[in-house]
Amino acid sequence: MLLQIIRVLQFVALAGTLASAAYYIICIWGAISFLKHRKNAAARLEDLPPVSILKPLRGIDPGMYESFRSYCQQDYPHYEIIFGVSEPNDPAIACVQRLQQEFPRRNICLVHCEQKLGANVKVSNLAQILERAQNEHLVVSDSDIRVTSDYLRAVAGPLADPQIGLVTCLYRGVACSSVGSRLEALGIATDFCAGVLAARQLEGIRFGLGSTLAFRRRDLLSVGGFESLADYLADDYELGKRITLGGKKVVLSDAVVESFLPQYSFGQFLQHQLRWARTLRASRPGGYFGLILTFGFPWALLTLFCSMGAAWAWYLLGAMVIIKIAVAYSVGTRSLRDPQVMQWLWLLPIRDLVAVPIWIGSYTGSQVAWRGDLFTLKDGKLARN
């Protein structure tokens, strides 16, 4: 009986390993396609529309001021930056005021958002910031995102095509010195962004990423405006999904931005991963369940164990390690231009093994901790505990 159970487990583990290998090949294919189609020529300055950059804030993020400065140094003819805070004593206010002093000729505005339009304070602030925006073309990005000087040209240019309703961006994580922070950055490069490129290759992008959301005001209003998203945790995903359902395309920009990560302890890293996992499960339950077929290294280890250390299973494990390194190189090093990925490659087995209990843990509850508050997730929406 025990032998039969082991054989069944071996068959399941082998199937999981082969499915993961196929998925990794699709990720590499997606990275090659992204690199192949990356445009070298930017749009002409005279063809670019005025843009309003909307930045909702709450608290201080790593490297926040330098990230803010990067938006003030854009090679772009006409744009404004509107920041929004909900608390009058928010420490981020001092950063905005300092920015206004350093760039007095730049159109920088700070809005105090007094209303609470939903459980997602970020989206509630965006709805109120939008009232002050002067332009039809809008760009939203998280407060920890840093960009290069050609960023606005790269994300606003594609909107010249009326069939494109949303432009979003890949990002690389800039880690601190802690192991938790490095594991987070490695996961962004080898797992999250790899999955985005695989989705782009198989079905196209049907979601947005908080690193960048560039869209027209009229397209936002056509799907209900920010107010209709104010109770969703994954508001970026929801906006992209609604724009796609409305008949317009979501595209991935050529630009790759940077996200500056906190000094996560290992426990904080696990907590953040669990929140993200439960968010994905609530937003896209079918696709999230399918992630079980992407845990190549754990599946290969289980295959090795069930085969009692057979030579072919060792070869399979070695092949899985090689193909995962190829994913790290093609996505992290080449597509994201992340110089840290290959340096921290020794952490990749730990990152892959941790992904399994995180996936299981996402099904054990619906509570998430976000920005110091505790919420319950239901159908992708937040309910404050």
**Could you report the per-residue pLDDT of 133-159, keeping only the tens digit for each?**
999 999 999 989 999 999 999 999 999
The whole-number pLDDT of residue 106 equals 94
What proportions of the chain, in percent to the nearest 5, are helix, strand and coil? 55, 20, 30
Alpha helices in 47-91 (DSSP H): 64-71
Cα distances (angstroms) measured from residue 156 to each of 83, 159, 252, 358: 19, 6, 12, 36
Residue 373 has pLDDT above 90, yes or no: no
* CB-based contact 61:67 (threshold 8 Å): yes
What mean pLDDT value characterizes the chain?
91
Query: What tokens were used for 89?
Result: 């004593």
Measured at the CA of 88, the angle between CA 82 and CA 93, to 5 degrees, comes to 45
Instruction: Determine the Cα–Cα distance for residues 342 and 246; give it in Å rounded to an integer.
Output: 40
Cβ distance 53 to 81 under 8 Å? yes
36-50, 82-96, 137-151, 160-174: least confidently modelled range: 36-50
- The pLDDT of residue 39: 55
CA distances, 249 to each of 115, 155, 216 (Å): 32, 14, 13
pLDDT at 40 over 60: no
SS3 category, 89: coil
Helix-then-strand count for the chain, H and E: 14, 11
pLDDT at 117: 85
In the sheet with 381-384, reading across from the earlier edge strand, the strands are 367-370, 373-378, 381-384
Q: How many other β-carbons are positioned within 10 Å of the β-carbon of residue 7?
A: 12
Name the residue among 237, 258, 286, 273 with its Cα closest to residue 357.
273
Token representation of residue 209: 């990423």
Cα dihedral 163→166→170→174 (10° resolution): 160
Reply yes or no on whether the pLDDT at 241 is more than 60.
Answer: yes
pLDDT of residue 22: 97
Query: What pLDDT is recorded for position 381?
Result: 77
For 163, which DSSP code? T
- Residue 41 above 70 pLDDT? no
Look at the pTM and tell me if it is higher than 0.75.
yes
Question: Residue 131 — pLDDT band, cuts 50, 70, 90?
Answer: very high
213-216, strands of its sheet edge to edge = 108-112, 79-85, 51-56, 137-140, 213-216, 164-174, 249-260, 145-146
